[in-house]
Structure 1
Amino acid sequence: MKNGHLSHWLDSTRDLSRTRQRIEGSTQADVVIIGGGYTGLWTAYWAKKQDPSLDIVVLEKEFVGYGASGRNGGWISGKTVGLRRNLMSESVSAEQVLEIERTCHHAVFEIDDLMAAAGKDIDAHRGGWMQIARSDSEFSRLRSHVEEDRSWGLTEDEIALLSAEETYDRIHVPGVQGAVYSPYSVKCNPAKLVYALAELCEDLGVKIYENSPVEEFSDGDCQTTRGHVRGSVVVLATEGYTSALPGRKRDQLPMVSSMVVTERIPESQWESIGWSGYECLSGAQHIYFYAQRTADNRIAIGGRGVPYFWGSRFDTSGELDPGTTSQLGEILQGLFPTVPIKLAHSWRGVLGVPRDWSPFIDYSKANRLVRVGGYAGQGVTASYVAGRTVAGLISEQDSSLTGSAWVRNMPRKWEAEPLRWIGSRSVQMMYKAADTIEHRRGGADTSVFGRLATKISGR
């Protein structure tokens, strides 16, 4: 089994990647974007579409898709991004919060349509997303989530509670109690998506430089190891890697997410699995999983494992520890006990989590700086919406996006060490304990450990 190599997605699509030059010397641009992932590229794409005269430069430390954009679960999902209560304020109403949520719903299919129209194959399939419950407590939580969604105005067509029978008809998981289903999700190959997006940007005239780490930036000036760019506006689109920048270690928590992918599963065994709808699948336990059925009949599944490393550190190759690999394999075998599961590749990456777990687009005209991100694991779709919003702010558009609930000051910083490490590890331990207790005890009540962990984390 391969371990690391960044991800299965990147490792299996090397023939689709382009090699781009690093920036050398000094230059100027209207917009300088730090980060060559989804957020940076969607910002570049929409800024150029809205104003073709703009000179746009993207500076990427490694290569396009190196970070979360090339390592994630491949969900173009309309799931709620952030915490609704944290997006509300004196100037932001509940209606505005719901509006940006529905904007994400529409964005799911806009991304799929855009790529298809451009002739880009990203292994897309419109199957929606489904979160399954395998215990009474899990199903009780799902029911509560749907009731909350109804109170915010989401309809049965947008999110629905499925019975055990309805769930099993879709995917044959033994002991399933029910599920939540929404049509707003498209599974994809995330590396193919980021490669295609970069090509579309370059077709529009965007300049993308790789191997060009930004060492410092201020007032529009970006200094790399070998070059310098002066921009009218700088967009910081580094998400989970923001903590590696000077003075920004506590801006976002680089939360670790781990994945494994199986060998190809023969067609003869898919009958016992079901999953013909290619739904994006997740679990309702506290230590949850997320998964997809790939275009070549593998199962890719992810989860938390070790959630955070001391001092906001993260590795570079994405190698996964044996314990987390075994844990994800056991989850898979528990879902489909009659199917022999053989793992082919394991990896991990980091995602950006702000202190209030909610996205932000913070534009300081005085500092000529836009800080954007904080999707907390829902970035494949959210980055599209955020990038389009940033483009609108740069061009000074007055729209529902530029006035949305996401356009706000960046949340407060995370606590200093050792509190960050103690807090993240303690929350993980409490969630694990809650899952164990609920499994053994039965009943519909959520364990006190689960409730306490949620409160401590601020979710």
Structure 2
Amino acid sequence: MSNAIQQAGGQDLGAIPNGGVSYWYSSTRLPEYRPPLPGDRDADICIVGAGLTGLWTAYYLKKAQPDLRIVVLEKEFAGFGASGRNGGWLSSELAGSRPGYAKTHGHQGVVDLLRAMREAVDEVIAVARAENIDADIVKDGLVHVARNRAQTARLHESIEFERTWGAGPDDFVYLSKEELDERIVVEDARAGMYTPHCARVQPAKLVQGIAAVVERMGVTIYEQTTVTEIRPQTARTNRGTVQAPIVLRCLEGFTASIKGQRRNWLPMNSSIVVTEPLPASVKAQIGWNGAELLGDYAHAYMYAQRTADDRIALGGRGIPYRYGSRTDDRGATQQWTIEALTALLHDMFPAVREVPIAQAWCGVLGVPRDWCATVDLDRSTGLGTAGGYVGSGLTTTNLAGRTLADLVLHRDTELTRLPWVGRRVRQWEPEPLRWLGVQAMYALYRTADRREYQRDLPRTSRIARVANMITGR
């Protein structure tokens, strides 16, 4: 029996519910399937993928032009992928390298993109309120903790880095250990960083709410329909073909399922465990009386939230990538991943060791070769796409959807001039190189984390610096 199982108060982690898409759906129930595509159809706009990117795009297109005939095609059900499985961080964290974006539109372009991300957090909250979507949204901000000297150095570097891109003193606030403990008591924490630009959300409630709204607006969502090929003005499926002047690929981590797209965005896996509700005695020891989101400065980083029903959901990387860009089996994750995440949860919050783990699951996110998100529409072919959010997509989907809508409608706006629009990224290496590369990257990061803890290094391990150079992060 592993240490993780022993520390779980005798709970057999191999027996807990694993998969089932996500706990978010277990707590609300899986939705009924909508009908599949009933044969060949014509439309003004065809959107492939009923996750948040596709649904937000449909929402803003319909708001701007109600007479548009919009068809959304989905293999499973709306919100089946990362949109209904993520950690619930409605954050302004930017997916990608600031210098990488700056090459396109310079420093000011990146500042504009960062500002747009912060505004998108409030936009999602405003739409949820206006459309009566109850998604447990609370904007209490985000706390990152540093638990050794190297992480503390990165915390200070991170705050200074944000300042170079226009962040104000209230956007990223340093927290001493005492100030951190007033918010959340994390074992061995030395310092923290707080930003107000983040809200907790129940992901399944949000994506199901948006899907219902766009349907009421007149958007047609066909589920149980597998798109096999996307070509100009054409989306071919196992149920028929949709012809439309504009076809938008909004598949994020599932992009590799489309013919010819296997090497465009790598499907990276991320896993989560969630506890049973915390007893009052445990809550008294860890604090966390607000709805702040929680992250850290490890290289193999974690992310967590305190749910509306007083559980802790904590996630991180398990097996980061499956050979050949394969994706998961309805959210089931590996046993050693469950044990590793449980051990991390107990290491950060010893008081939680006697609280059973209720469920585990995983999902995939899209990673471009340069780790930078992209929004694009080729006017000559009518083909568009958005994604590559690298795990920071819950807010980014909204900004991407609004940007795609403006591009489709030929609008020249501040959004269409942002530096992530129209970027071209080289493909990932063929197998087995990309499998070997990703496995090596995370092995190096885990090794670097261990060394930083065990040796209490004063700065980032050289091993992590080598991994960053190799991967281009």
TM-score (normalizing by structure 2) = 0.95
Q: Secondary structure at the match of 1:142?
A: helix
Contact 1:250 1:415 in 2 (8 A): yes
* Alignment partner of 1:382 out of 396, 402, 422: 396
Aligned positions of 1:345-360 closer than 5 A:
345-360=359-374
Q: Secondary structure at the match of 1:443?
A: coil
Separation in 1 of the partners of 2:264 and 2:243? 24
* Alignment partner of 1:408 out of 422, 431, 446: 422
* Amino acid of the structure 2 residue aligned with 1:63: F
* Alignment partner of 2:324 out of 284, 306, 311: 311
Q: Secondary structure at the match of 1:215?
A: strand
* Alignment partner of 2:455 out of 416, 441, 458: 441
Separation in 2 of the partners of 1:310 and 1:260? 24
* Amino acid of the structure 2 residue aligned with 1:230: Q
Give the CA deviation at 1:244: 1.3
Separation in 2 of the partners of 1:85 and 1:408? 16
* Alignment partner of 1:228 out of 241, 255, 268: 241
Give the CA deviation at 1:315: 2.2
Contact 2:87 2:303 in 1 (8 A): yes
Separation in 1 of the partners of 2:382 and 2:123? 30
- In the alignment, does 2:356 pair up with 1:367? no
Separation in 2 of the partners of 1:406 and 1:424? 24
- In the alignment, does 2:161 pair up with 1:132? no
Aligned positions of 1:109-258 closer than 5 A:
109-258=122-271
Give the CA deviation at 1:338: 2.4
User: Cα deviation per residue 1:43-77 (whole Å; 9 max; x = unaligned)?
Assistant: 00011111111111100011111111111101111
Aligned to 1:344: 358
Aligned to 2:12: none
Give the CA deviation at 1:243: 0.8
Separation in 2 of the partners of 1:264 and 1:206? 38
User: Cα deviation per residue 1:139-193 (whole Å; 9 max; x = unaligned)?
Assistant: 1011111111111111111112211111111101122111111101111110000
Q: Secondary structure at the match of 2:60?
A: helix
Q: Structure 2 unaligned runs (5+)? A: 1-15
4+ residue segments displaced more than 3 Å = none
Separation in 2 of the partners of 1:333 and 1:429? 22
Give the CA deviation at 1:18: 4.3
Aligned to 2:20: 5
Aligned to 2:36: 22
- In the alignment, does 2:344 pair up with 1:331? yes
Give the CA deviation at 1:281: 0.3
Contact 1:128 1:279 in 2 (8 A): yes
Q: Structure 1 unaligned runs (5+)? A: none
Count of residues in Structure 1 that have an aligned counterpart in Structure 2:
457
Give the CA deviation at 1:195: 0.2
Separation in 2 of the partners of 1:79 and 1:181? 13
Give the CA deviation at 1:409: 2.9
Separation in 2 of the partners of 1:175 and 1:140? 15
Once the two structures are aligned, what percentage of the paired residues are identical? 42
TM-score (normalizing by structure 1) = 0.98
* Amino acid of the structure 2 residue aligned with 1:276: N
Separation in 2 of the partners of 1:256 and 1:51? 37
Give the CA deviation at 1:316: 2.3
* Amino acid of the structure 1 residue aligned with 2:55: L
Contact 1:171 1:273 in 2 (8 A): yes
- In the alignment, does 2:82 pair up with 1:68? yes
Separation in 2 of the partners of 1:338 and 1:206? 48
Contact 1:81 1:101 in 2 (8 A): no
* Alignment partner of 2:275 out of 259, 262, 270: 262
Contact 2:33 2:224 in 1 (8 A): no
Separation in 1 of the partners of 2:158 and 2:185? 23
Separation in 2 of the partners of 1:384 and 1:306? 28
Give the CA deviation at 1:377: 0.4
User: Cα deviation per residue 1:78-107 (whole Å; 9 max; x = unaligned)?
Assistant: 112211111122x51211111111111111
Q: Secondary structure at the match of 1:2?
A: coil
Contact 1:4 1:320 in 2 (8 A): yes
* Amino acid of the structure 2 residue aligned with 1:238: L
Separation in 1 of the partners of 2:87 and 2:123? 19
Give the CA deviation at 1:341: 2.9
Q: Secondary structure at the match of 2:210?
A: helix
Separation in 2 of the partners of 1:386 and 1:317? 26
* Amino acid of the structure 2 residue aligned with 1:283: D
* Amino acid of the structure 1 residue aligned with 2:201: C
User: Cα deviation per residue 1:294-344 (whole Å; 9 max; x = unaligned)?
Assistant: 001110010001111111111222211111101110111111112323101
* Amino acid of the structure 1 residue aligned with 2:29: R
* Amino acid of the structure 2 residue aligned with 1:56: I
Separation in 2 of the partners of 1:390 and 1:368? 12
Q: Secondary structure at the match of 2:351?
A: coil
Contact 1:5 1:347 in 2 (8 A): yes
Separation in 1 of the partners of 2:101 and 2:239? 40
* Amino acid of the structure 1 residue aligned with 2:28: T
Separation in 1 of the partners of 2:73 and 2:250? 10
